[in-house]
Copies of this chain bind each other. A is one copy, B any other.
Amino acid sequence: MIGFSESREGQNNLKAFSPVTKEDLTGEFAAATLSEIKAATTKAAQAFPLYRKKTAEERAVFLETIGEEIMAIGDELIQRAMLESGLPEARLTGERGRTIGQLKLFADVLREGSWVEAVIDTALPDRKPLPRSDLRKMLVPLGPVLVFGASNFPFAFSTAGGDTASALAAGNPVIVKAHEGHLGTNELVAGAIKRAAKKTNMPDGVFSFVISNDVETIQHLVKDEAIKAIGFTGSYKAGTAILTTASTERKTPVPVYAEMSSINPVLLLPKKLQQDSDVIAARLAGSILLGTGQFCTNPGLIFLIKNESAEIFTTKLTELISEAAPASMLNKGVCRNYYAGRQLLQQQEGVRTLATVEDSSSDYKGSAVLFETDAADFIANENLQAEVFGPSSLIVKCNNEEELLNAVGALHGQLTGTVIGLNEEIETFSAAIDILRSKAGRLLYNGVPTGVEVCHAMVHGGPYPATTNPGSTSVGADAIKRFARPVCLQDCPPEFLPAELKDENISNIMRKINGQYTRANS
């Protein structure tokens, strides 16, 4: 889908395989040729100067209309996504709601308007020794954004997901590289975006949608000079490859916002564990098993200090994991990688298996597993930090507080870190908690990391390898800022200033004028 047109030049047709029926589903999906890729990026570049001139209200209506068009597909969309992803109906219905909620959030952000970070320093013509010019800046869109959809959220992190919504909101055309795990779902959603674009009079090329399973073709897309930023959610390997290409193989490097790998460590503090070991075990088991463990915030690592209540907790968690019925995984690849990953973890020195459920890989189902290891082994071997995407977790047993501190210090960057403890312990363990915070985008107290609220204060991000850009979030209102950059206008005649920077603050946005935050005129 190249803008408003459709194209099927190539001979390579992909089929959508269902992990539920274990059969190919109806529909053939044409992989894009290089000339189709070029046509999509060219159209996006042509659409950009038209699209960025649309008012905030026009873009807001476009986003809301995408949501309406997605709803209008009705049950067909949910049914297709169920077959393609193996996810249950209630989850997908909820995720569709979240996806539409994200589009609405960005519509609200656009209408409120302050996200452009308008800053005005008025002229000081009489300043000595030199006068000051009139300087005004605000965020403007970067240009066409390439979005790689993820498999584990066929709606919320895919074709019309957070990256697409935030990039479109900021004023950029979007090209989605569809995830091959849910081709039919993608096509339905892409159709909804196209209809919304036409209905709301957006330029042809504001949205394109390409399918490919060919690394070279995808590299062409990443290297295309029309692309000005890249959003990605997926594996460490693919994300890092895109970062390398975008940073070193393009004529002009572009920012890559890749969300990749996180094992979401949980710190269990001893007194709280003593009080509530069963409740904590139950909550953690629920989080580990949720959605067959296929969340980027799945708690894959549990730190605790050896003692009696730690043993009770471990026994309880082992019991709960052992009882878990194998459940559908998203697709063949995720399933294969899950079993390979847990096998690799199991083979590492010092890793002991606590709970394991019969292998259901032939059925494309993930069976849960729980491992344990000692802090010394964890610290010595980085392989214990490889993400195992699925219902797997590793308990790291520490002999004392110092070992806990060192184990937390050995952690890679994470999307989340979780502390489960009494307030007095949060004080005692503040050094370890400080380190955990320095490694994570979000620090939770007495909760579980699965469940990412779409709101203003969310950070779904974190230091590498959680993401390639620690300064950003891919969920929540501020995700829009990834796809914009500041431009300063110096001594711009008032009639040519954009509304956000005019003296009169027509849209009543929050601005910084001569260093002071205000909604007043300048």
Cβ 8 A contact of A135, one of B119, B455, B468, B487 = B455
| Residues of A that sit less than 8 Å from B by CB | 49, 94, 108, 112, 114, 119-121, 129-130, 132-133, 135-137, 140, 142-143, 228, 243-244, 247-248, 252-255, 412-413, 423, 426, 434, 437-438, 440-447, 451, 453, 455-459, 461, 463-465, 468-473, 477-478, 481-482, 484-493, 495-496, 510, 512, 514-515, 517
CB neighbours (8 Å) of A247 from chain B are 243-244, 247-248
Is B487 a contact of A456 with CB atoms below 8 Å?
Answer: no
Cβ 8 A contact of A447, one of B440, B477, B490, B495 = B490
| Distance of A329 from chain B, by nearest CB (Å) | 24
The 9 tightest CB contacts between A and B, nearest first, are A459-B488, A247-B247, A135-B457, A442-B488, A444-B490, A121-B457, A470-B485, A119-B457, A252-B464
With A133-B444, A471-B482 given, name 11 new contacts (CB 8 A).
A112-B515, A119-B478, A121-B453, A121-B455, A130-B451, A253-B464, A423-B495, A442-B490, A444-B490, A463-B485, A470-B485
Give Cα A20 to B496, complex, Å: 47
Give Cα A465 to B254, complex, Å: 10
CB neighbours (8 Å) of A512 from chain B are 456-457
CB neighbours (8 Å) of A461 from chain B are 485-486
Given known contacts A252-B463, A438-B143, A495-B423, is B468 in contact with A486 (CB within 8 Å)?
A: no
Given known contacts A247-B244, A470-B485, A486-B473, is B458 in contact with A491 (CB within 8 Å)?
A: no
| Distance of A443 from chain B, by nearest CB (Å) | 5
Given known contacts A486-B441, A486-B471, A486-B473, is B515 in contact with A456 (CB within 8 Å)?
A: yes
Give Cα A34 to B178, complex, Å: 47
Q: Taking CB as reference atom, which chain B residue is nearest A493? A: B423
CB neighbours (8 Å) of A438 from chain B are 49, 143
Q: Taking CB as reference atom, which chain B residue is nearest A53? A: B434
CB neighbours (8 Å) of A254 from chain B are 464
CB neighbours (8 Å) of A143 from chain B are 438
Q: Taking CB as reference atom, which chain B residue is nearest A510? A: B517
Interface centre among A112, A437, A464, A470 (most CB of B within 10 A): A470
Give Cα A447 to B434, complex, Å: 49
Is A437 a contact of B493 with CB atoms below 8 Å?
Answer: no
Given known contacts A108-B515, A244-B248, A464-B253, is B478 in contact with A486 (CB within 8 Å)?
A: yes
Give Cα A274 to B132, complex, Å: 27
Interface centre among A412, A446, A515, A517 (most CB of B within 10 A): A515
Cβ 8 A contact of A456, one of B121, B444, B484 = B121
Give Cα A476 to B495, complex, Å: 26
CB neighbours (8 Å) of A228 from chain B are 463
Is A440 a contact of B471 with CB atoms below 8 Å?
Answer: no
